[in-house]
Amino acid sequence: MEIIRNFPAAAILLCLFAGIVSSGLKPKAAKWLNHALIVVEMALNLCTLYYTAVTGEAFVYVMGKFPAPWGNEIRAGVLEALLALFVCGVMLLSLLGGEKELEEKVEENKLFLYYVLADHLLCSLLALIYTNDLFTAYVFVEINTISACGLIMIRQTGRTIEAAVRYMIMSLLGSGLLLMGLCMLYDLTGHLLMSNIQESVARLHASGMYGVPLTVTIGLMTVGLAIKSALFPFHTWVPDAYGYSTASSAAILSSLVSKGYIFLLIKIIYRVIGFEVFHDTKIVNVLFLFGLAGMIFGSLSAIKENNIRRMIAFSSVAQIGYIYMGIGMGTQAGMVAAIFHIFSHAAAKALLFVACMGITGASGGSVKFQDLTGAAYRNKLAGAAFTAGSLSMVGLPLFSGFISKLLFAQAAVQNQGKMLPALVVLAVSTILNAVYFMKTVIRIYTPEQSPYEGITWKNQKLLTVSCVLLTVLNLHLGCLSQSWENLIMKGLGMFA
Amino acid sequence: MNRREKEKRKEKSEKEEKKSSRFESWLDGDRDIYDGNMELRPQKEYEPSPYLLRRQENERKKMEERVNDVARNKEYRVFKRAYRVLAVVFCLSFIALLVLAVSWLPPVGQAGNPDNNEVSARYIEEGLQETGSVNIVTGMILTYRAFDTFGETNVLFIATCCVMVMLMLDEAVLKKQETDNDRKYEPKNDAILQGMAFILCPVIFIFGIYVILGGHLGPGGGFSGGAVIGAGLILYVIAFGFKKTQRFFNEAVYKTAKITSLVMYGLIGSYFYITGANGIENHIPLGLPGHILSGGIILPINICVGIEVACTMYAFYALFRRGGL
């Protein structure tokens, strides 16, 4: 059993090795290495999840022979292992779903780079999830930013390059703010390791010393990560980045990359600053407000959009708003809802992007709404999968979106001060969601004579597998939510 | 026998005469040293193609139409003004906020500061003993915080991959542009540049290797030494062109060097992490501090990092210059 303690570190290192080796391989070999790697990663993370769930406590793994606070550490609990497993699964399905498109739209001499970038992206996500050291987190935030940028612009059109530049600027601004906060935090506490910082911060907070810089530091780190995860006023890079890149890239970016940063923020709240101290700074209220604004304005922009990919991208902005609203409630229940929504949104958004590729593929590659009429009849499977994803997003019972909305509502009811705005905005946002998603579903199910040829499932086997599995994942999250909730609660308990 | 010697002597004197006469003619100003050594071409006057002219004209017209569109123009003007004002106000308030926060931070250099704690104390006091490295900074980044540094090296790797995504051209296109790249944009066979590079490149390479190998003994290490070697490679390319560089540093060599060094680094690192974490004895000897073969994993890691950084520097230059290695 003890050997399982090596697995999280092995998972991170294996990704790095795979990425490095892939840079010398042919595209096909790089692809197989990447898929094999993700399967191995899933096994490793599953073992870690099982181990932490059985022992009931998180464990710390020292990277090297020097223990904290001198050396690097990673730490694995139930929540970390669960999220890591989930990230690997969704990544594999997104890559499988978009594989055909990749081969068509990426130049052949650059295709192997896609898998190099994907390997490193996965590595950085795992490191962000498992890290117990703020500076390690920063290093892997850098890897994450650069490889995400590469994933956007690997399909070389003018729009993707513009989107990548936009993404790079906004994302580096976020990294810069995070780094500034990190430096100030080091100046105030003298540590980089999360648990040591938490002790020092608790001491500083109790004695009231350095109150101003501590608040500014927390603000800088929160805003930095909010920019990187596209919270409402900082979302301007989202529509282009998700709208014009390949389907796999869009699915990975929206469902995993932004979630990695949010998880890092949650980790910082619990394990670096401390939940109480964070709550006392009132930054939660700011997050709450921006979350609410995002829920409304993201959906309004989505309704105006005439490009299905950009519409889904704007819907991401709204969903990120939900997550920040949950964090902003400042209660345990709100946090559980936010974390559940991380899972639920990742599953649904990946499904939507992959299915959207099937739909546009049956409409001559056009993303304009007028060309999509009747697309669900030309590509029956993708149409059904898109409908399932939309229903999940809107929040129909049996689908994952319903459970997260229910949890948000429950959390709001328990929170006196924020109940009314949260419930009202939740209701309005749900209606807006329904408006633009049902509009799309009705359009793709409107029969029409069309010049485009239909696609059967035999011509898109990988897409079929990906769509079916992602739909099953959505239904699983929706129907058996209790076990997921229990794991999340258990994991949050291990954070303290 | 005798005749042959005489002939040889004759040839020699002729040659000397030639050299000295060449010098004299140069002194007199009869001869230009660039003649035959360097390609000199007058710059062509710029002539825009009719297509481009037409396009520019169209764009100008369109622009004028939009500028004269009062409704839109007004909105745009208001937006632009508000944007400028708000940006300035925002930046100023952000700067003020940061200055305020920094002024509240603990003053620099005080003994009682929070960052003067057991962490830095152990690095300074026991670093030499525990890492075997005289240079504390190298000892700290490559053994205490080895994982971070491995991540940092991978940042360089992934950055090269990103630049490749952006700029790498197809083989066929590269072949077509080969002559352009070696002739059009850079001086070909520049005598002064080549002479200087001939002297400087070996010195730069040797200095880079010295910086890498001495990383655990003094200031230096893989990152700085690799940058020096990379600069040397770039100088070589500028002076002698890609064709000559590719004889010893082409894409295959680049890939092998980069992948081998990174994988070696990863293997050494993994061995260090896994043995350390599981409490297994580490079989890499620390050696005697101050000797070249000391410092445990630091020296091999520095070499790997050096190769990787040199490759990255050169790859950036080559990709930006011609879109391939």
Complex confidence, ipTM: 0.91
Residue B217 falls inside a structural domain: yes
Residues B152 and B290 in one domain: yes
Q: Which of A20, A135, A217 sits opposite B263 (nearest CB)?
A: A20
Residue B41 falls inside a structural domain: no
Query: Would the CB atoms of A63 and B273 count as touching at under 8 Å?
Result: yes
Is the minimum CB–CB distance between B17 and chain A shorter than 8 Å?
A: no
Query: Would the CB atoms of A23 and B276 count as touching at under 8 Å?
Result: no
Residues B82 and B206 in one domain: no
Q: What letters, b where the CB count within 10 A reaches 16 and e where it falls short, cover B69-82?
A: eeeeeeeeeeeeee
SS3 A133: strand
Place of tokens 């970016």: A253
| Percent of residues, chain A, with pLDDT higher than 70 | 100
Residues of chain B numbered 124-163 and touching chain A (CB < 8 Å): 130, 143-148, 150-152, 154-155, 157-159, 161-162
Distance from CA of A102 to the nearest CA of B (A): 14
Give B-chain residues touching A210 at CB under 8 angstroms: 104-106
pLDDT given for residue B17 in this prediction: 61
SS3 B280: coil
Residues B179 and B251 in one domain: yes
Per the structure, the complete domain to which residue B194 belongs is given by: 135-322
Q: What letters, b where the CB count within 10 A reaches 16 and e where it falls short, cover A218-227?
A: bbbbbbbbbb
Residue B92 falls inside a structural domain: yes
Averaged pLDDT of chain A: 91
Query: Would the CB atoms of A139 and B170 count as touching at under 8 Å?
Result: no
pLDDT given for residue B293 in this prediction: 84
B48/A227: higher pLDDT: A227
The residue among A86, A131, A94, A99 whose CA lies nearest residue A32 is A99
Amino acid at A357: M
Phi, psi of B301 (to 5 degrees): -65, -40
**CA gap B161, A111 in Å, rounded:** 11
Interface probe for B, chosen from A21, A146, A182, A220 (most Cβ of B below 10 Å), is: A146
Residues B172 and B314 in one domain: yes
Phi, psi of B308 (to 5 degrees): -60, -45
Q: What is the pLDDT along chain B (325 residues), one digit of tens a residue?
A: 566 777 766 666 665 567 777 777 777 777 666 666 666 666 777 777 888 888 888 988 888 777 666 666 777 778 888 999 999 999 999 999 999 998 988 888 888 888 888 888 888 888 888 888 888 888 888 888 889 999 999 999 999 999 999 888 887 787 777 766 666 666 677 888 899 999 999 999 999 999 999 888 888 888 999 999 999 999 998 888 888 888 888 889 999 999 999 999 999 999 988 888 888 887 788 878 878 888 788 999 999 999 999 999 999 999 988 888 7
Is the minimum CB–CB distance between B97 and chain A shorter than 8 Å?
A: yes
Residue B109 per-residue DSSP state: T
Query: Would the CB atoms of A200 and B114 count as touching at under 8 Å?
Result: yes
B292/A31: higher pLDDT: A31
pLDDT given for residue B8 in this prediction: 67
| Residues paired with A62 in a beta bridge | A73
**CA gap B200, B198 in Å, rounded:** 6
Contact at 8 Å (CB) between A329 and A366? no
Residues B293 and B229 in one domain: yes
B29/A35: higher pLDDT: A35
Give B-chain residues touching A142 at CB under 8 angstroms: 155
Note the pLDDT tens digit of each residue in A404-413: 999 999 999 9
Q: Quote the distance between the C-alpha of residue B143 and its chain's center.
A: 25
SS3 A63: strand
Distance from CA of A139 to the nearest CA of B (A): 6
Residues B204 and B252 in one domain: yes
Distance from CA of A275 to the nearest CA of B (A): 22
Residues B148 and B96 in one domain: no
**CA gap B132, B144 in Å, rounded:** 12
Neighbouring residues of B23: CB distance < 8 A, sequence distance ≥ 6: none
Give B-chain residues touching A188 at CB under 8 angstroms: 105-106, 114
Residues B98 and B166 in one domain: no
pLDDT given for residue A453 in this prediction: 80
Residue A219 has pLDDT above 70, yes or no: yes
Residue B126 falls inside a structural domain: no
Distance from CA of B103 to the nearest CA of A (A): 9
Residues of chain B numbered 261-300 and touching chain A (CB < 8 Å): 262-263, 266, 269-270, 272-278, 282
Closest residue on chain B to A155 (Cα): B165
The residue among A223, A250, A246, A220 whose CA lies nearest residue A237 is A250
End residue of a domain, out of B58, B77, B102 = B102
Give B-chain residues touching A187 at CB under 8 angstroms: 105-106, 113-115
Distance from CA of B69 to the nearest CA of A (A): 25
Residue B107 falls inside a structural domain: no
Residues B83 and B201 in one domain: no
Query: Would the CB atoms of B148 and A9 count as touching at under 8 Å?
Result: no
Is the minimum CB–CB distance between B114 and chain A shorter than 8 Å?
A: yes
Residues B209 and B68 in one domain: no
pLDDT given for residue A285 in this prediction: 92
Counting every residue written for chain A, the total comes to: 496
pLDDT given for residue B172 in this prediction: 79
Interface probe for B, chosen from A16, A182, A217 (most Cβ of B below 10 Å), is: A16
Distance from CA of B108 to the nearest CA of A (A): 9
Query: Would the CB atoms of A16 and B114 count as touching at under 8 Å?
Result: no
Query: Would the CB atoms of B273 and A190 count as touching at under 8 Å?
Result: no
Residues B94 and B142 in one domain: no
Note the pLDDT tens digit of each residue in A318-360: 999 999 999 999 888 999 999 999 999 999 999 999 999 989 9
- What's the domain count of chain B? 2
The residue among A224, A86, A245 whose CA lies nearest residue A160 is A245
Residue B254 falls inside a structural domain: yes
Residues B256 and B199 in one domain: yes
Residue B34 falls inside a structural domain: no
pLDDT given for residue B187 in this prediction: 66
